[in-house]
Amino acid sequence: MLVVSRKQGQRIVLGENIVLEVVEIRGNCVRLGFEAPREVPIVREELLPAEKQVHRTTDGDRASRSRRDTPSAAHGTRHP
């Protein structure tokens, strides 16, 4: 998992045609705005059927931590 920090009004571009923007930060609530083609489904995880929800495994968490702890991950960049 790539973890990045963003401030209100900052955006992240996914691929060629998906944009995620931090619209508002109020207390412990963050409002996100998405720009994406209509054919791209955007669904809150809790609304998915249980069998389709993403479950983290011990191996996945370990891999996430190792990538997150690298200097490039801290700055939100990836290397091929």
Concatenating the DSSP letter of every residue in 53-67 gives S----HHHHHHHHHH
Six-digit token string for 54: 């993403």
Six-digit token string for 76: 């939100």
Tens of pLDDT along the chain (80 residues)? 999 999 999 999 999 999 999 999 999 999 999 999 999 999 999 999 887 777 654 445 544 444 444 444 444 444 43
Query: Collapsing DSSP states into helix, strand and coil, what is residue 24?
Result: strand
Question: Do residues 38 and 18 touch, judged by C-beta distance below 8 A?
Answer: no
pTM over 0.85: no
Q: How far apart are the first and last CA of the chain?
A: 15
Q: Where are the domains of the chain?
A: 11-73
Question: Do residues 11 and 19 touch, judged by C-beta distance below 8 A?
Answer: yes
